[in-house]
Amino acid sequence: MNLPTPLPQRLARRTDLVKRLRKLVDDGGLIHRDEDLVVYECDGLSAYRQAPLAVALPTSAQQVCDILRTCGDLDIPIVPWGAGTGLSGGALPLADGIVLSLARMNRILHVDIDDRAVTVEPGVTNISVTHAVTGHGFYYAPDPSSQIACTIGGNIAENSGGVHCLKYGTTTNNLLGLQLVMADGHIVDIGSAAMERAGYDLLALFTGSEGLLGIITQATLRILPKPQSARALMAAFDTIAAAGGAVADIIGAGIIPAGMEIMDRLSIEAVEQFLGCGYPLGVESLLLVEVDGPEAEVDAQIAAVQDLVRAAGCTEIRQADSPEERQRLWAGRKAAFPAMGRLSPDYYCMDGTIPRGRLPEVLERTSVLSEAYGLRVANVFHAGDGNLHPLVLYDSNAEGELERAEELGAEILKLCVEVGGVLSGEHGIGVEKRDLMPCQLSDDDLDLQEELKRAFDPGLLLNPGKVYPALRTCAEGRMHVHGGRLPFPDLERF
């Protein structure tokens, strides 16, 4: 097994690297002092931390090419970085590598209302795309709760979703074209604002590729006209299973809401303490439903949803009658993750997807697991598409709680796979779920994926150690040697 690079060698490596990178970027384009690297030690999965050798912040695709070629010469791995809000450790730095931050490539390059397309650099934040077109009556549909901070590059690399993705799809359904810098420094363009494409569907391959196949340096996104009307309602239930039943009834009635989310008692309490957005306390679950489209259709659908949630046994309904009330209803849901700070010093956010019909069973078994591990689990989820976000509450200062939280999280994800679901809905695999991959994919499946990775990145310099486990047994351990390289030599638990 490889050992961590000794400090003197690491420093010599950094000196060499910094000398070369200085020639490629301007003064603001390179961070290498230890005290300045602290902010890049972790992404949103803050349980794992590790400083990189340096951070390069290019301002053009050409600079990205030059940096990749230099790293290739020096055999230095590269971790792409958007805003660092990822929750699966995909942007976790490598101690012997650089972070390649795309944050300074943040221009909106072209807005084409006729073709309903916007071309942006990867560091543009998700919300900025909507801001750029809202005056024309358009918006960008994928809306992760982190949308004021997360970048389009990160969204594409994770195939991010959001509360309004049930009807309009996740990032992959709203992407038209990409410019990429490949591991060997070549620039390629795939897709375009025109709908038809020749050859393989490479856009789909690169969406969700977690920085392992190439660096996104430009993206063309589909924008949609704002719906004429949108209405939201909130329904409270005595049991979470009843709320799950209402979801099945709504979809069964042929209604595809723009968003359909469930929050359990713990999440409601946390959000109310955090934001005070008017959710009722003392109820077991809340179902938020939004329908949008032409006014007449929305009127009919919201009336039908009201009938369906009543028939499913809801104890209270509140309909948002103004855009402000509607935003207040959603603000609570969107703040659910940060709100957990009101209940617990730390939380571990899981992200598994299950067939909708198995929702009551999975929630019941999750609560049994939660009791067995002695840790509370708050449930917030994109109920319409079966994407669960169990939030395991723990205290990192309490001996052994982080490990217990990880084990409980792994058990919940294995449960998702057992009932026919998958390990991730939208947060990606990263380092977090890497060693659970064999629970879902066979050796042959994993071989095929790794062969693809090697075809695009034969030197394994792009985000090595992420996504693919070194050992092919389910959850043998968390940190393993990948492809002969020890990816996390200095990894420290926080």
Shortest distance, position 85 Cβ to ligand FAD, whole Å: 3
Interface residues for ligand FAD in 4-43 (CB under 6 A)? Answer: 43
8 Å CB contact between 67 and 183: no
Rg (CA), the chain: 23
For ligand FAD, the closer CB: 122 or 409: 122
Shortest distance, position 250 Cβ to ligand FAD, whole Å: 21
Q: Is 216 in the site for ligand FAD (CB under 6 A)?
A: yes
8 Å CB contact between 47 and 348: yes
Shortest distance, position 462 Cβ to ligand FAD, whole Å: 8
8 Å CB contact between 261 and 233: no
Interface residues for ligand FAD in 409-438 (CB under 6 A)? Answer: 426-427
Shortest distance, position 213 Cβ to ligand FAD, whole Å: 8
The terminus-to-terminus CA distance of the chain in angstroms comes to 24
**Among 466, 474, 489, residue whose Cα is nearest residue 435:** 474
Interface residues for ligand FAD in 69-88 (CB under 6 A)? Answer: 79-87
Q: Is 287 in the site for ligand FAD (CB under 6 A)?
A: no
8 Å CB contact between 4 and 490: yes
In 374-478, which ranges are continuous DSSP H helix?
401-418, 437-440, 443-456
**Among 150, 157, 144, residue whose Cα is nearest residue 210:** 157
- Compute how many residues bind ligand FAD; rule: CB under 6 A: 37
Shortest distance, position 219 Cβ to ligand FAD, whole Å: 9
Contacts 24+ apart (CB under 8 A), 367-375: 369/408, 369/411, 369/412, 369/415, 370/408, 373/404, 373/405, 373/407, 373/408, 373/411, 374/404, 375/401, 375/404, 375/405, 375/408
Shortest distance, position 460 Cβ to ligand FAD, whole Å: 14
Q: Is 470 helix (H, G, I), strand (E, B) or coil?
A: coil
For ligand FAD, the closer CB: 70 or 151: 151
Q: Using CB under 6 A, which of 140, 337, 348, 394 touches ligand FAD?
A: 337
Interface residues for ligand FAD in 111-130 (CB under 6 A)? Answer: 122
Shortest distance, position 297 Cβ to ligand FAD, whole Å: 26
Contact pattern from residue 137 through residue 176 relative to ligand FAD, giving x for each residue in contact according to CB under 6 A and a dash for the rest: -------xxx---xx-xxx-xx-xxx--------------
Residues that bind ligand FAD (CB under 6 A): 43-44, 79-87, 90-91, 102, 122, 144-146, 150-151, 153-155, 157-158, 160-162, 210-211, 215-216, 337-338, 426-427, 463
